[in-house]
Chains A and B, each alone.
Chain A
Amino acid sequence: MNRPLSAIAGGATGIAVMSLLLLFLEVETRSNLAIFEAVARFAGMPGNVTFGFVLFVLAGVFAWPLAFMALEEYIPGGPDPATRGMVLAAVLWVVFVLTGRGDLSGGLLAIYVIFTLLAHLCYGFLLGAVYGRLTSEGPVESERYDPSDVSQ
């Protein structure tokens, strides 16, 4: 598939799974983390959850994947695009935590930090993996496993 479309497909997969994870987290924590308010703040629409979420999805499907495609070669972690996707997502996560954490503190902040990091890594991984697979820039050659080297 051509590269921009592959990137968008990766972004769509990633954002779908990430939204699902965030929804689970929201329900699981009985809305204590107010994840979608955080998403809205992240997207620059504090207070407007619906619109913020729409922007979040658009950015996740179009902006980041295309940026990823453009910057791929400069992102550390290659050659596996999935790892590179995770690096990109980790950078996004830093901004997410800074803009979105509201006034959480203590245990809740810890939960927020850890689980949003995992959700971002999932996004980045899927973005890169799907992109890599569709453009087949993914890992093609892999060494063969040599059983005699079962060191221990």
Chain B
Amino acid sequence: MGVISVLKEIPGLLVVTWALLGLAIYAGYRQNWQMRSVAADGGYLSGLGFKSEKPAGIFRWLTTVDHKDIGVLYIVFAAGAALWGGTDAMMIRTELFTAGTDVWSAETYNALFTTHGLTMLFFFVTPAFTGLANYFVPILVGADDMSFPRINAIAFWLLPPAFFLVRGGLITEVMGKMLAAVGVRWELLFSLRPPTLGWTLYAPRSIIVSNPQVDLVLLGLHLSGLATIMASVNIIVTIFTERDENITWANLDIFSWTLLTTSGIVLFAFPVLGSALLMLVADRNFGTTFFAVEGGGPILWQHLFWFFGHPEVYILVLPAFGLVSLILPKFAGRKLFGFKFIVYSTLAIGVLSFGVWAHHMFATGMDPRLRASFMAVSLAIAIPSAVKTFNWMATLWGGNVRWATPQIFCVGGIMTFIIGGVTGVFLASIPVDLVLHDTYYVVGHFHFIVMGVITFAAFAASYYWFPLLTGRMFNRRLGRIHGYLSIVGVFVAFLPMILIGYGGLPRRSASYPGAFEALQQLSSFGAVIIGIGALIWLTNLVQSYRLGPIVTDADVWNLRETGQFSREWQWFEEQLEDRTKFRR
């Protein structure tokens, strides 16, 4: 106690600081302010520097229209958003560690799960996969670039402003604080409070809430929708028109197939969201009554939202499936089992995804006949998903499985997808849903998918293509530790939520009855495990980018052996040869 309170009393670190400064100047003096000049990268180029005629430094990244650069921008943006959204998640779990409302206020808590959901869905997952698409689709289909490189750049550059509008209040609050620090207090800058509506923005609350920040959120989401649509049009046109002669529909790779389907879904789903958002903006500001009781009613919002919202779930998960289908066979030493059926099931999911939206609305008192038909389609959509799962398992069966980091994530993703999928089938049946609707069961269910297979596939891809992207290898032991930690973490974090849901605890509340405390604490513990894993990932990739062993042979994963040295690696090999020439 004594030491600590003494430290608190110190008139400042000033003394120490300036003493150190003096020491430093003395030391510098002794070393004669040594000068050095050696090429900064020691003569090696990273994978991010293939072409030399690009402008250097930050300017390159601001002006680029090269699909590879834009892909990298997307990926970096998505990683940043994921870390920020992860901070929200950790803060949610801190509050839920104890039964009372004792860390954050209820309002802050509500804001946290709202921004967490919006950030993760619109600014982490979608950009992450769009980024991979931008980098790899042209290479995989043998195109020089995307069809519309400039639109591609615009689509990316719409995202940061959209993100800041949605996370909003941030910039204004920062400005407000800066002004306040010099003694000027401008209340307007503090009037934007983070939204507390949940990512579904249900009417009538979303109309009534007076917080002007909600309008910014709606506009930001609209903007991100535009960006997503532009990117999707680009992907579709590229795959249709820019394919190399020897790439036919029959030998188009599985990743491009899933992105094509995903982009198709985007084309039908996002305009609905865009329109609904504008109607909501009009309801809030211009006295229209689209979603007011005297007009279309709050249920209209739910229909429009979920007509977008359910397909959105598949927009997120199909690219992840594509990645698993692409990466898993490489480390199983054999070809993907039932390639054709995986493609068909992808297309089937694409179509069916528009026929199930009302399973999110079973509890709203729809006509029971309507309800039953939505239940039927929802159960049916489980079939193509199961086809994929069985094909993956059949691929592993009898294969020569290597437990490299990407493979750990693929198999872990399949495991979590099975839990997520089965719990989903339960939710799709009306009587079960009526009991479990809006409990933690739902949170557990969809996190087995979003944190399980979707994020795992993104991690798998980040490791699998890391050598290609950076020209260096990552630390494989750390990678494996991250893989196992993530799998354990997801089960420890989200299985308790399933149980809590069976106990009937409603979600979206900062406090809860003490009886749930033990399970909630277990869940928070799991979240910490996931968080530690994510930090290991970040450290590993950043340090490996700087210091990792240099890749000189393009076949980093020994794919030639099993005849799976696919197009992107062949492309990488050519790049490496060019670079080696350049270096000598």
Binding site for B on A (CB under 8 A): 2-4, 23-24, 26-30, 32, 36, 41-45, 49-50, 53, 55, 59, 62-64, 66-71, 80, 82, 95, 98-99, 106-108, 110-111, 114-115, 118, 125, 129, 133-148, 150-152
Q: Contacts of A150 on B, CB cut-off 8 Å? A: 402, 404, 556-558
Q: Contacts of A145 on B, CB cut-off 8 Å? A: 467, 472-473, 548-553, 556
Q: Are the CB atoms of A152 and B402 closer together than 8 Å?
A: yes
Q: Are the CB atoms of B103 and A107 closer together than 8 Å?
A: yes
A-B contact pairs, 29 of them (CB 8 A): A3-B31, A28-B91, A43-B13, A44-B10, A49-B181, A59-B17, A62-B21, A63-B24, A64-B17, A70-B26, A82-B546, A95-B13, A98-B4, A99-B8, A106-B98, A106-B102, A106-B103, A111-B94, A125-B542, A135-B36, A137-B36, A138-B42, A139-B547, A144-B550, A145-B549, A145-B550, A150-B404, A150-B557, A152-B403
Q: When A110-B94, A145-B548, A152-B404 are in contact, do A2 and B102 touch as well, CB less than 8 Å?
A: no
Secondary structure at chain A's binding surface: helix, strand, loop or mixed?
helix
Q: List the B residue with the shortest CB-CB distance to A139.
A: B547
Q: When A63-B20, A64-B20 are in contact, do A147 and B553 touch as well, CB less than 8 Å?
A: yes
Q: Contacts of A129 on B, CB cut-off 8 Å? A: 546
A115 to B25, CA, bound (A): 32
Q: Are the CB atoms of B170 and A24 closer together than 8 Å?
A: yes
Q: Are the CB atoms of A99 and B44 closer together than 8 Å?
A: no
B525 within 8 A of A: no
Q: Are the CB atoms of B104 and A70 closer together than 8 Å?
A: no
Q: Contacts of B28 on A, CB cut-off 8 Å? A: 3-4, 66, 69-70
Digitize B64-102: 1 where CB-to-A-CB distance is under 8 Å, 0 elsewhere.
Answer: 000000000000000000001001101100110110001
Given A63-B17, A67-B23, 10 more A-B residue pairs with CB atoms under 8 Å apart are A3-B33, A4-B33, A27-B170, A32-B104, A44-B13, A62-B21, A67-B20, A69-B28, A106-B103, A140-B42
Q: Contacts of A67 on B, CB cut-off 8 Å? A: 20-21, 23-24
Q: Are the CB atoms of A23 and B174 closer together than 8 Å?
A: yes
The number of residue pairs between A and B whose CB atoms lie closer than 8 Å in the complex comes to 177
A108 to B109, CA, bound (A): 13
A139 to B543, CA, bound (A): 11
Q: Contacts of B288 on A, CB cut-off 8 Å? A: none
Q: List the B residue with the shortest CB-CB distance to A30.
A: B108
A2 to B34, CA, bound (A): 7
Q: When A44-B10, A98-B7, A99-B10 are in contact, do A111 and B91 touch as well, CB less than 8 Å?
A: yes
Q: Which of B25, B549, B555 contacts A143 (CB 8 A)?
A: B549
Q: When A98-B4, A147-B558 are in contact, do A32 and B108 touch as well, CB less than 8 Å?
A: yes
Q: Are the CB atoms of B103 and A108 closer together than 8 Å?
A: yes
A86 to B130, CA, bound (A): 33
B35 within 8 A of A: yes
Q: Are the CB atoms of B8 and A98 closer together than 8 Å?
A: yes
Q: Are the CB atoms of A144 and B170 closer together than 8 Å?
A: no
Taking the closest CB of chain A, its distance from the CB of B562, in whole angstroms, is: 13
Q: Are the CB atoms of A144 and B552 closer together than 8 Å?
A: yes
Q: Are the CB atoms of A63 and B11 closer together than 8 Å?
A: no
A110 to B97, CA, bound (A): 12
Q: Contacts of A118 on B, CB cut-off 8 Å? A: 535
Taking the closest CB of chain A, its distance from the CB of B208, in whole angstroms, is: 22
Q: Are the CB atoms of B467 and A136 closer together than 8 Å?
A: no
Q: Which of B24, B43, B170, B556 contacts A70 (CB 8 A)?
A: B24
Q: Are the CB atoms of B7 and A69 closer together than 8 Å?
A: no
Q: Contacts of B105 on A, CB cut-off 8 Å? A: 30
Q: Contacts of B7 on A, CB cut-off 8 Å? A: 95, 98-99
Within 8 A of A (CB), among B137-173: 169-170, 173
B39 within 8 A of A: yes
Q: Are the CB atoms of A66 and B25 closer together than 8 Å?
A: yes
A28 to B10, CA, bound (A): 29
Within 8 A of A (CB), among B513-570: 535, 542-543, 546-553, 555-558
Digitize B171-195: 1 where CB-to-A-CB distance is under 8 Å, 0 elsewhere.
Answer: 0011001000110000000000000
Task: Report, nearest first, the 5 A-B pairs whose CB atoms are least far apart.
Answer: A44-B12, A70-B27, A66-B24, A140-B42, A107-B103
A118 to B539, CA, bound (A): 11
Taking the closest CB of chain A, its distance from the CB of B157, in whole angstroms, is: 20
Q: List the B residue with the shortest CB-CB distance to A143.
A: B549
Q: Are the CB atoms of A29 and B104 closer together than 8 Å?
A: yes
Taking the closest CB of chain A, its distance from the CB of B116, in whole angstroms, is: 11
Q: Contacts of A108 on B, CB cut-off 8 Å? A: 103
Q: Are the CB atoms of A136 and B40 closer together than 8 Å?
A: yes
Q: Are the CB atoms of B27 and A147 closer together than 8 Å?
A: no
B37 within 8 A of A: yes
Q: Are the CB atoms of B97 and A107 closer together than 8 Å?
A: yes
Q: List the A residue with the shortest CB-CB distance to B535.
A: A118
Q: Contacts of A59 on B, CB cut-off 8 Å? A: 13, 17
Q: Are the CB atoms of B37 and A136 closer together than 8 Å?
A: yes
Q: Contacts of A136 on B, CB cut-off 8 Å? A: 36-40, 42
Q: Contacts of A80 on B, CB cut-off 8 Å? A: 543, 546-547
A59 to B557, CA, bound (A): 47
Q: Are the CB atoms of B108 and A142 closer together than 8 Å?
A: no
Taking the closest CB of chain A, its distance from the CB of B79, in whole angstroms, is: 14
A23 to B11, CA, bound (A): 25
Taking the closest CB of chain A, its distance from the CB of B149, in whole angstroms, is: 31
Q: Contacts of B12 on A, CB cut-off 8 Å? A: 43-45, 55
Digitize B36-71: 1 where CB-to-A-CB distance is under 8 Å, 0 elsewhere.
Answer: 111110111000000000000000000000000000
Q: Contacts of A152 on B, CB cut-off 8 Å? A: 402-404
Q: List the B residue with the shortest CB-CB distance to A2.
A: B35
Q: Which of B18, B87, B535 contacts A28 (CB 8 A)?
A: B87
A117 to B174, CA, bound (A): 22
Q: Contacts of B8 on A, CB cut-off 8 Å? A: 41, 98-99
Q: Are the CB atoms of B24 and A42 closer together than 8 Å?
A: no
Q: Are the CB atoms of B174 and A53 closer together than 8 Å?
A: no
B14 within 8 A of A: yes
A59 to B21, CA, bound (A): 9
Q: List the A residue with the shortest CB-CB distance to B20.
A: A67
A62, A82, A144, A148, most chain B CB atoms within 10 A: A144
Q: Are the CB atoms of A42 and B13 closer together than 8 Å?
A: yes
Q: List the A residue with the shortest CB-CB distance to B23.
A: A70
Taking the closest CB of chain A, its distance from the CB of B505, in whole angstroms, is: 19
Q: Contacts of A115 on B, CB cut-off 8 Å? A: 87
